[in-house]
């Protein structure tokens, strides 16, 4: 295995969120371009409004279907640095795992994919897109797709940016939740007022906001907004059975006493309305006895197949308007919405339907049959590929639950790294 190559790639601190790493971002893109060229791919660094995208391709046969492989070379920041057992940018191998920022998310995952492609005698036309802004919301990715629509034309997107169960069992992600975010602000008095001189005479925006927030859920944490659950396509019995069979120990560990019933199926099949941040009045040390002028909350909803972001937002907005007291001015703003995603095999070209059927067998080489699972998260680029290029995505999850994505001591299993390269080689060789 190309461990030195992998280590050299991990040594580049390509943190997209931090300005001081802009040169490292460029180094990572150069590293990839060189790698593609050395392996007989045509490659180009494509500029965007932010960090560049590396595009590469290998044409086999104009009649063959085209597969587009996606990855991202940018990584998360490393704070809190004190909790790392080894330097986040000096890869360290312990117990069959490689520890470094980006080991799993996403350098190891897409490098194993690329190594598989490089070793293969492909039956498909291959295109690769490795972007540099996934960890900052893929801000320029949709406009990149729009600007390069023809050159990116393909029949299926393939990516490894999701999770698996264990080193023996890979997950094919069949669905993702949609995401909508917005903010709510209530303004009451004309300025912060003294709670002694005014208290009792003036309604308090924090009181009003907490009551408004509380009105959005029932006591058992269901969303209490008229029509919120309308139109949802329920999961199949098979999907539910798999979800119920999943191990909950990691969830239990992270959630502590906050764990709710049926966690695995709630994450995969139910929409949420979540408060991500709340703020109002004096929040420093000690006390300051004011009635604040305003208070605000950041809200996000995860949506499941059958829900539409714009429609759900308008239902929540309606509920907010109805429940807002007359003593407050309500502002709902910064709406952003992305719809849920579901992989429907029937949408694919016939030539690829057989490929998908073979994938299950190829992945079984890890040890067990892969699981088909919906995930709770939202991957903006999967929606972008569907919206702009009109194609579905095959998501082959390679990150272990213990891989500490976005956290200190991020890791990637070397066994998965090797087997994934084998899988991807076979994947593009089969027909």
| Site for a copy of itself, residues 281 to 300, rule: CB under 8 A | 281-284, 286-292, 295, 297-298, 300
Residues 47-106 that bind a copy of itself (CB under 8 A): none
Choice from 34, 94, 151, 253 touching a copy of itself (CB under 8 A): 253
Q: How far is the CB of 137 from a copy of itself (least distance, A)?
A: 8
> CB atoms < 10 A from the CB of 50, how many?
19
The helix (run of H) or strand (run of E) holding residue 89 is none
Using rule CB under 8 A, residue 191 touches a copy of itself: yes
The rounded distance, in Å, linking the Cα atoms of 117 and 137 is 27
- Smallest gap from Cβ 321 to a copy of itself, in A, equals 15
Q: Is 278 near a copy of itself (CB under 8 A)?
A: yes
From the CB of 411, what's the least distance to a copy of itself, in Å?
A: 17
Q: Which of residues 209-238 bind a copy of itself (CB under 8 A)?
A: 209-211, 213-215, 217, 219, 221
How is residue 244 written in tokens?
A: 């119920």
Identity of the residue, 4 or 218, whose beta carbon is nearer to a copy of itself in the bound complex = 218
- Which residue's structure tokens are 């290029």? 389
In the complex, what is the shortest distance from the CB of residue 195 to a copy of itself, in angstroms, rounded to a whole number?
Answer: 5
Contact track, a copy of itself, 405-424, x by CB under 8 A = -x------------------
The answer to whether 376 and 268 are in contact (CB under 8 A) is yes
Specify whether the CB–CB gap between 138 and 131 falls below 8 A.
yes
Question: Tokens standing for 407?
Answer: 């956290």
d(CA 11, CA 34): 16
Binding range to a copy of itself, per CB under 8 A, among 96-104, 344-352, 375-383, 390-398: 375-383
Q: Are 72 and 134 in contact (CB under 8 A)?
A: yes
Rounded to the nearest 10 degrees, the angle between the axes of helix 414-429 and helix 350-364 is 150
242 binds a copy of itself (CB under 8 A): no
Kindly state the smallest distance separating residue 362's Cβ from a copy of itself, in Å. Answer: 27
Contacting a copy of itself within 129-148 (CB under 8 A): none
- Least Cβ distance, residue 41 to a copy of itself (angstroms): 33
Instruction: Based on the shown chain and the rule CB under 8 A, indicate whether residue 259 belongs to the binding site for a copy of itself.
Output: yes
Q: Does 402 bind a copy of itself (CB under 8 A)?
A: no
User: Token match 């941040």: residue?
Assistant: 277
CA nearest to 299, candidates 289, 290, 307, 309: 309
Near a copy of itself by CB under 8 A: residue from 86, 236, 314, 334 = 334
DSSP string covering 154-166, please?
-SEEEE--SB-SB
Picking from 383, 369, 204, 368, the residue whose alpha carbon sits closest to that of residue 294 is 204
Shortest reach from residue 407's CB to a copy of itself, in Å: 9
Stretch that binds a copy of itself, among 35-43, 81-89, 174-182, 352-360 (CB under 8 A): 174-182
Angstrom distance (rounded) from CA 234 to CA 306:
9
| Binding residue count for a copy of itself, defined by CB under 8 A | 82
Q: Which residues contact 254 (CB under 8 A, 6 or more apart)?
A: none
């Amino acid at each position: 295995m190309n461990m030195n190559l992998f280590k050299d790639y991990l040594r580049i601190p390509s943190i997209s969120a931090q300005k001081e790493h802009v040169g490292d971002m460029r180094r990572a893109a150069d590293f990839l371009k060189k790698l593609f060229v050395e392996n007989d791919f045509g490659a180009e660094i494509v500029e965007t409004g932010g960090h560049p995208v590396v595009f590469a391709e290998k044409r086999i046969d104009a009649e063959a279907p085209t597969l587009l492989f996606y990855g991202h070379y940018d990584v998360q920041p490393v704070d809190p640095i004190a909790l790392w057992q080894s330097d986040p940018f000096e890869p360290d191998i312990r117990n069959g795992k490689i520890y470094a920022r980006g080991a799993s998310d996403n350098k190891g995952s897409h490098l194993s994919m690329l190594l598989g492609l490089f070793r293969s005698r492909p039956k498909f036309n291959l295109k690769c897109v490795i972007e540099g802004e996934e960890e900052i919301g893929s801000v320029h990715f949709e406009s990149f797709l729009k600007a390069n629509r023809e050159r990116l034309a393909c029949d299926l997107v393939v990516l490894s940016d999701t999770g698996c169960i264990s080193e023996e069992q890979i997950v094919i992600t069949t669905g993702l939740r949609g995401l909508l975010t917005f903010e709510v602000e209530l303004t009451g008095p004309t300025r912060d007022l003294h709670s002694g001189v005014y208290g009792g005479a003036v309604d308090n925006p924090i009181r009003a906001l907490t009551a408004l927030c509380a009105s959005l859920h029932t006591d058992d944490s269901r969303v209490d907004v008229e029509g919120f659950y309308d139109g949802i396509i329920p999961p199949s019995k098979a999907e539910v059975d798999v979800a119920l069979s999943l191990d909950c120990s990691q969830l239990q560990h992270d959630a502590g006493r906050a764990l709710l019933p049926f966690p695995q199926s709630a994450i995969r099949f139910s929409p949420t309305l979540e408060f991500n941040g709340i703020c109002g009045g004096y929040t420093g040390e000690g006390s300051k006895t004011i009635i604040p002028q305003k208070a605000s909350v950041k809200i996000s909803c995860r949506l499941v197949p059958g829900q539409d972001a714009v429609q759900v937002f308008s239902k929540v907005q309606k509920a907010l308007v109805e429940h807002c007291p007359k003593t407050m001015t309500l502002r709902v703003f910064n709406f952003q919405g992305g719809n849920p995603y579901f992989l429907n095999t029937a949408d694919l070209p016939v030539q690829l339907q057989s490929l998908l059927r073979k994938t299950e067998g190829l992945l079984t080489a890890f040890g067990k049959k892969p699981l088909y699972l919906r995930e709770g998260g939202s991957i903006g680029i999967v929606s972008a590929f569907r919206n702009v290029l009109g194609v579905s995505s095959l998501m082959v999850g390679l990150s272990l639950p213990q891989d500490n994505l976005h956290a200190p001591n991020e890791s990637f299993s070397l066994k998965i790294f090797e087997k994934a390269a084998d899988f991807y080689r076979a994947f593009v060789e089969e027909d």
